[in-house]
Structures are given as structure tokens and as C-alpha cells.
Amino acid sequence: MARITAVDTYDVRFPTSRELDGSDAMNPDPDYSAAYLVLRTDDGPDGHGFTFTIGRGNDICRVAIDALASFVVGLDPDTVDLGDFARSLTHDSQLRWLGPEKGVVHLAAGAVINAMWDLVAKRAGKPVWRYLAELTPERIVDLVDWRYLTDALTPAEALRMLRAAEPGRADRTAELVARGYPAYTTTPGWLGYDDEKLVRLAEQAVADGFTQIKLKVGADRADDVRRLRLARAAVGPDVRIAVDANQRWDVPDAVAWMTELAPYDPWWIEEPTCPDDVLGHAAIRAALATAAPSGGRIRVATGEHVQNRVVFKQLLQAGAVDVVQIDAARVGGVNENVAILLLAARYGIPVCPHAGGVGLCELVQHLSMFDFVAVSGSIRDRSIEYVDHLHEHFRTPVVLRDAHYRAPEAPGFSAEMHPDTLTRYSYPDGPAWA
């Protein structure tokens, strides 16, 4: 028997805007940040979790996490029901009013839920991906908040899908441990980089074994044509180049702009418009159905800012996306991402997670690996974003080998930052901000 005794919170910010790492058409000067929490226990390891933000407002998320402490303190991590626990946070009627299930309160709920997963998996001695992938189909179904989903997927249908995948779990686990999970890299493509740096990093990515890179677009059309031409020349015809507009366009702009970039064969257009605009994405996808050089489709991808499972459900129902991009710290934690993985599998759409930021690579690898072993059973057209920022602040950072994420073996969710980082980058009083 153990007990959660306290929730400690931290406002951690990295001054990334000084180097223009992470710069894109909507976010010119992000200071990558984490509203970070530790679930303290009276026996054994602590649970760590965080919300990723880009600076201002990180303190608001921290206050929201503090407001959820009363839902957690006193619980026994060895007996907590992880489905009921997640629902207790998102169903509180008074806090729900502030979303519902979106914005700061939902970000905070996700951070607390993920910290509980870190804690429970550590106590079980397993990495989260393996902990999840070893649950029975019934227990996986029970993790999900099914409210608002049953017109697209029922618990019974999800159970059938999970049972159908069960016999292959062992083989896929072995394959995953042997080979890892494919990654693509965004490192070459930040808007703040000049042409020389773009070409050099694109060539380096190919040399490192990546078969897909990503470029930011959307600030200036002529610049984007030139940058995509240079990148295509650098990587050759067979490496996929995704482009990412970070919500910069209205629907007509997205279609016009992407038609102009089409000769350079972009693999997908990511966040072409507002993440809330299901019908807008569907219209863009329809307009780009034959825009690629071969007359094929330019794919539409979105998800890093999609607020919850209900919007993902609609993107799938409307045929609005070719690629679902989950984010480990945007929605209601592991539980809501399990729901989204099940929905994507139901519609046969590949999931390629958003990562980068602070610690998002660390978290989301677990979700994709669980998906491969126990849900979709496939890595076809699937890969996890990789950005080589800020991993040094984590106790068990991601490991890439041959452009694949190695399957983590350390117990927990890979969420834990070094204590020195929590001190040094504490905002506004840490030495990094002095």
C-alpha cells in the first residue's frame, strides 16, 4: 500500500526564442516550456508529468494543475482504476464548464493523468508502452471515456478490434524491440534557418537514414517555393518531404499555396488551417486529391492542436485527413490518446504523432509503440516526428538508431526531467533567466 501525498508543480521555461529553433509561420519566437508536476508518494518512485507550452501562459497551466491536486492526493497508485481516475478529472462539472475538455483545464488534466501513468508504470517496473500493450482488451476499452464516440465506434466494436490484434502482440513486440519504430525529422525545416543551413541539415538527415523530413511553410509563398525546391534537390526524389503551415491559412489560401508547391511533391500538408475546422480540412483534402505531380493526392495531416477525441472523431468521419497526428500532452493524457488510436484504427488512417517541443518525443513514442503492438498492428506509412532539442534535460531521453526510435525499457513514461533542470530553468527566478 502506498499513498500519493502531494502534488509539486514547476514553471519550467527554456529560452529557445534566442536561437529561432522552433520558429514557424504562426509561432515566430517560442520559449519552449513545461508546466511540470511531480506526484509525491510515501513509498517508492514519484510520478512525473507536464503540459508543453511555448512560454507566456505556462504559469496559468501550472495554476490549473494545482487546482486538480485534490483529485489525486490520498490515492493509492496500486489500486487506482486508471479509467475512472481520468474520468474523475474530466467530468468534474464545475471545471468542465471552462472547456469543456479543451484549453488550459484540459491541458492540466492531461498532465496529471500522464503523471499517474508514469507512476503506475514505474511501480509495475515497465515502460508505459509495454504496460499498455500487456493489458487485456477489456481493460484497454475501459480506459476510454466513451461519451460522444458511439456514433463512430462502440466499446463492443473496439473490443473486437483489440481481440483481433491480440494473437500478434508477441511477434510485434519482438519486432519492435529488435528494430525500433520509424522516425522522421523536422530538424532541417525551421523557418528561421537560412538556405545554406536548410540544405546542409537536409543532406545530413538523408545521411542519417531518415526517409522523411519536414519543412515549415506559410510565411512567404516565394520563399516556400525556393526552400522546397532546394530541399527536394538536396534529398532526391525518394525521400518524403512533409510541409507544415502551422494553421496559417484560410481554406482558399491553403489550396492555392499548396497547388504552387505541388511540383516539388510534398508528402503531406500539415495544419493547413484552423485545427477546429473539420469541414475546412475536408474541403482542402478534396481540392488537393489530384494535385501531386503524378496526379496523386497531397495528403492532409493535422492533430497537434486538435483539442479532444470528439474533433478527431469528426475529422475521421468527414474523410478530412490522411494522417492523424496525436500529441501526448494536448488531450486528456494516455486515456484520451487510446481513444484516438482506436478511432484511427477503425477508419484505417495512420497515426504519425506530433513531437519535438519539450519531452513530446519522450512521451509519444510509448503511444505509437502501443498502437503497433496492440491496436493497428502496423507501421505502414507511420512514423514519429523527431526533433533534436532539449532531450538532455530528461533522465531517460529517447534513443534514435538508424532513424528509428529504440523501444524504451526504463519503467515509466520517460517524462522525468533532471532535478537540476527544474531549478536552473525555473521561471522567472532560475539562473537561466537571470
What is the contact surface with its own copies in residues (CB under 8 A)?
Answer: 26-31, 53-57, 59-61, 63-64, 67, 92-107, 147-151, 247, 250-252, 273-280, 283, 305, 307-308, 310-311, 313-314, 317-318
DSSP β-bridge partners for residue 270: 244, 301
User: CB 52 → its own copies: shortest distance, Å?
Assistant: 9
Q: Which residue has the cell 529504440?
A: 406
Q: Are 219 and 248 in contact (CB under 8 A)?
A: yes
Which is nearer to its own copies, 308 or 376 (by Cβ)? 308
Instruction: Give DSSP secondary structure letters for 363-423.
Output: HHHHHHHHIIIIIS---TT--EEE--SSGGGBSS---EETTEEPPP-SSB-S-PBPHHHHH
Q: How far apart are CA 262 and CA 281, in angstroms?
A: 17
Residue where the block lists cell 499513498: 3
Q: Closest separation between CB of residue 140 and its own copies, Å?
A: 20
214, containing H or E segment: strand 212-216
Question: Which one is catalytic: 102, 122, 313, 354?
Answer: 354
The least CB distance from residue 148 to its own copies, in Å, is 4
Nearer to its own copies, 94 or 294 (CB): 94
Whose Cβ is closer to its own copies: residue 104's or residue 121's?
104
The nearest distance, CB 137 to its own copies, in angstroms, is: 22
User: CA neighbours within 13 Å on the CB side: how many for 80?
Assistant: 26
Give the three-class secondary structure for 161: helix
CB of 193 to its own copies, least distance (A): 18
Measured from the CB atom, is 152 or 165 closer to its own copies?
Answer: 152
* Smallest separation (angstroms) from its own copies to the CB of 323: 20
C-beta of residue 212 within 8 angstroms of C-beta of residue 383:
yes
Q: SS3 of 384, please?
A: strand
| Nearest approach, Cβ of residue 243 and its own copies (Å) | 19
The least CB distance from residue 200 to its own copies, in Å, is 27
**Best CA proximity match to 430, nearest among 11, 8, 7, 9:** 11
Q: Is 404 a catalytic residue?
A: no
Q: Which of 106, 122, 214, 216 is catalytic?
A: 216
Q: How far apart are CA 38 and CA 69, in angstroms?
A: 11
Going by the DSSP 8-state scheme, the letter that residue 180 receives in this structure is -
Q: Are 387 and 201 in contact (CB under 8 A)?
A: no
Whole-number Å distance between alpha carbons of 154 and 161: 11
**Residue 277 or 362 having the CB closest to its own copies:** 277
Closest CB to its own copies among 56 and 160? 56
Nearer to its own copies, 146 or 169 (CB): 146
Q: C-alpha grid cell for residue 417?
A: 526531467
Cβ proximity to its own copies, 100 vs 137, nearer residue? 100
Burial of 423 (0-12, 13-18, 19+ CB in 10 A): middle
Helix, strand, coil percentages for the chain (3-state, nearest 5): 45, 15, 40
Helix (H) / strand (E) element for 240: namely strand 240-244
| Ordered alpha helix ranges (H), 220-291 | 221-235, 251-261, 278-287
Three-state DSSP state, 235: helix
- Dihedral over alpha carbons 48, 385, 279, 101 (to 10 degrees): 0
d(CA 300, CA 285): 6
Cβ proximity to its own copies, 126 vs 309, nearer residue:
309
216 is catalytic: yes
Rg (CA), the chain: 21
DSSP 8-state symbol, 353: -
Q: How far is the CB of 15 from its own copies (least distance, A)?
A: 13
Helix (H, G, I), strand (E, B) or coil at 60: helix
Q: Which residues are catalytic?
A: 216, 354
